[in-house]
Chains A and B, each alone.
Chain A
Amino acid sequence: MEIHAYEKFWLAAALLLIVGFIATVSYGAVGAGVEMIDDDGGTVDPQALDEHPKFSDPGVYQSGPNEYDVYVVAQQFAFRPGTAEPIEVPADSTVTFHVTSADVIHGFEVVGTNGNTMAIPGQVATFTVEVGGPKEYGILCNEYCGSAHHAMEGTMNVVPQDEFNGTKGGA
């Protein structure tokens, strides 16, 4: 099979580009430590969330010095916590989100950040973020979840350490 010299050059350049892309993603995962949504959140019975030790009372739980777990239940058409009351976490802390759904598939997106996951009934999505200085973030559902999908929103407040009230938000 005859391959033109320019074609060979193009083929080599294309392969180099592809390998380069895979290398940058691998570096992001291994070198820079970009965490992926994985299967380590485990499963949960979506019809018995009220019997779950944490999802029965979702909110912010302190898990260590300056480390927090946030349990969030997404359901038509609100986040608990997030919608009726904001998720409140202290500044400059490590926060692990545990997100699940009580009914259909939802999205959980912290607007303008890469805090973004699907909330699938029966599955728990877990991801950890390093929270910076005080700021207010919007949260929205980015997966169509029914007729009032567009009304499903919430907020997350990062507050100064000394203003953080550990009893607020469920825990």
Chain B
Amino acid sequence: MATFVDRYPEEASVVKATLVVSFLSLGIGALFGLVQALHRTGYLRILDSVDYYTVLTGHGVLLALVFTIFFLMGLFTWAVVQSLERPLPDIRLSWAWVGLTTTGAVFAAVAILAGLVPSIDMSADVLYTFYAPLMGHPLFYIGLAMFIVGTWLAGADWFLAYRDWRGDNPDERIPLQTFMVLTTMLMWYLATLGVAVSTVFFLIPWSFGWVETVNPLLTRTLFWFFGHPVVYFWLMPAYMLWYTVLPKLAGGRLFSDPLARVVFVLFLLLSTPVGIHHQYLDPGIAEGFKFIAMTNTMFLLLPSLLTAFTVVASIEHGARQRGGEGYIKWLGALPWRDPAFTGMALAGAMFAAGGFSGMINAGMNINYLIHNTLWVPGHFHLTVGTAVALTMMAGSYWLVPQLTGKRLYSRPIGLLQVVLWFVGMVLMSNAMHRGGLAGIPRRTAEPQYQNFEFSTMLGSVEEIQAGIALGGTLLFVSAVLFLFNILLSSIEDPIENPVDDSLPAPLSGASGSPVVLDNLRLWTAIAVVLVILAYTLPLAGIVGDAGVWGDVPGVPVWVSGNLDAALAALPEVIA
């Protein structure tokens, strides 16, 4: 039987194009990660601390937005085509969104990387969150806007494919993978409204100087309107792989299709009205609104806890199909030599730890101790940095052969790679979590201060730094191994069956689930109502305080870019 590339060669090319962009940014982003890990721990310093923030911005944008979302766009294209069993409606539309997102990503990357070249008067080291009134170069915001519109077009492509399929199959249940894509995209359309409004209406005109001032709390709130749901946008492709591919790799099948649908519907409903939980420490937002966001956030634990059950149950089923027995011993019957399986399983295990540190972030009062400390990157390197990134890399070992018709270059190297990622992340995130408890801040080039020292509860600051530096180095080595393995795979000769690409039907199929689960209009309407309830009053309060256009002028990052001048001016400022 032919594989994906033989059945849908044009769609395979689209997916390959997005994966190439994804993996390129993974390479650059990982290199930046290594530079940071060694710089802020003092082990190796190849640049000024001023340039650290350029590298940090590049790391955040290239990994959290470009690597993850380009992979998602490829994976979702593959999933829609193969689960609907039909090609995309118009391949020109597909290439249009590939072109638009890629151009946008390149614009943003150029604006950021130019910060490393003093002779170019351009900089965007405003970090991944680009909080106004720190002002980046207009090209950065324009690139972001193009990228977002590109993802909207990609979603339109998948919805059009679904509409064509629905026309031919009026009474069938939506295939599970397509259902996952559609619910995720509905969530994305809703969530990106915040960042699109912020970028297009406020930041672009402001960075060009067409409007003078900005309302920092408004753009910050609009950012987090998008900035938390985007977390689920990263996570949903990983969930799709855990639900539909991991059980098969384990030797079995998905435990329950209906519950998988419930989980994705819950993410659609609850992802967006939670962003204010990133603003627990913001003045200008009443405590009651923060409490609503906290409650929604806590209920958002539910779909992840359900996923933990279903995925583990499905893996156990697979192990028992392979002859596994006993309460615990069945674990030994799993295909641990398969890098695709092992990578995803380790990613899932790390997600459990990341989920628990996230519950602490979500607790309004405990959050005060760890807000903006090193704890926070410790947390999201477990979630997006491992649950998502490692699942995507592991999934590639199974997915890429279907797209190229070529076998994976080396399974043992793949296995070493996923284990290295796991070990590196255990070292690094453990150190980061403990550093955060000691009060060490995130996002800083020099976490040692002249007038005080941090006191740790366990171990020492030096040992925490060693954990970060060693962990970061292992992660970089792992990323390099991944990229070489994929690169060498792509120059193999095509073979007949590079990988078993069949997906077995779930144990409990869709037919047993209520038809209302497939009613996307209903779920979208409820999601919109929840967002309106969570955001109308806080946004009205923020606009009431300082107006839509605000009263704070911009502070271009490249003007304050000279550390010596800034520090020399300090005594005057203080006097």
Contacts and interface: CB of A to CB of B under 8 A. Distances in A.
Interface string A1-41: 11110110011001101100110110011000010111101
B570 A34 contact: no
Contacts of A105: 131, 133-134, 216, 220
A147 B563 contact: yes
Contacts of B13: none
Contacts of A113: 369
Interface stretch (A60-68, A78-86, A88-96, A161-169): A78-86
Contact of A147 (B53, B131, B439, B449): B53
A104 to B, nearest CB: 5
Contacts of B561: 147
A78 B573 contact: yes
Given A29-B365, A151-B567, A155-B451, A121 B514 contact: no
A41 B217 CA distance: 14
A53 interface: no
A40 to B, nearest CB: 8
A160 interface: no
Contact of B574 (A6, A78, A136): A78
Interface stretch (B295-303, B463-471, B525-533): B295-303
B35 to A, nearest CB: 15
Nearest to B40: A150
Contacts of A107: 372, 441
B91 interface: no
Interface string A118-144: 101111111000000000111011111
B121 interface: no
A41 B286 CA distance: 10
B281 interface: yes
Interface in B549-567: 550-553, 555, 557, 560-563, 566-567
B116 interface: no
Contacts of A99: 283
B450 interface: yes
B372 A116 contact: yes
Contacts of A111: 439, 452, 454
A125 B442 CA distance: 21
B567 A148 contact: yes
A153 B449 contact: yes
Interface in B274-326: 279-287, 290-291, 294-295, 298-299, 301-302, 305-306, 309-310, 313
A7 B363 contact: no
A3 B259 contact: yes
Interface in B70-127: 125, 127
A112 to B, nearest CB: 5
B184 interface: no
Most buried by B among A34, A36, A43, A109: A36
A140 B449 contact: yes
Nearest to A20: B298
Contacts of B282: 37, 118, 120, 123, 125
Contacts of B442: 142
A58 B161 CA distance: 62
B368 A121 contact: no
Interface string B354-368: 000001001111001
Contacts of A117: 281, 283
Given A38-B287, A118-B282, A148-B566, A109 B439 contact: yes
B309 A121 contact: no
Interface in B190-231: 215-217, 220
Contacts of A29: 287, 291, 364-365
A103 B133 contact: yes
Most buried by B among A2, A45, A149: A149
A120 B541 contact: no
A11 B216 CA distance: 41
A84 B449 contact: no
B443 A148 contact: no
Nearest to A143: B372
B410 interface: no
B563 A148 contact: yes
A151 to B, nearest CB: 7
A38 B508 CA distance: 48
B120 to A, nearest CB: 16
Contacts of B439: 109, 111-112, 138, 140
A121 B216 contact: yes
A148 B508 CA distance: 58
Contacts of A143: 131, 372, 443
A159 interface: no
B358 to A, nearest CB: 11
Most buried by A among B49, B255, B306, B570: B570
Given A2-B512, A123-B217, A150-B446, A116 B283 contact: no
Contacts of A6: 309, 313
A17 to B, nearest CB: 7
Nearest to B303: A14
Contacts of A76: 555, 560, 566
Contacts of B295: 22
B423 interface: no
A21 B366 CA distance: 11
Given A17-B301, A25-B363, A116 B552 contact: no
A109 B441 contact: yes
A14 to B, nearest CB: 4
Contact of B50 (A115, A138, A147): A147
Given A103-B555, A121-B552, A140-B441, A39 B285 contact: yes
Nearest to A124: B283
Contacts of A10: 305-306, 309
Contact of A2 (B279, B309, B445, B508): B508
Given A2-B258, A145-B134, 14 more contacts: A7-B256, A18-B299, A24-B363, A37-B281, A47-B552, A104-B133, A104-B134, A109-B439, A112-B454, A116-B372, A120-B283, A122-B545, A138-B453, A150-B49
6 contacts: A47-B553, A104-B131, A107-B372, A116-B372, A122-B215, A122-B550
* 3 pairs of A and B residues whose beta carbons are closest in the complex: A138-B452, A114-B368, A125-B283
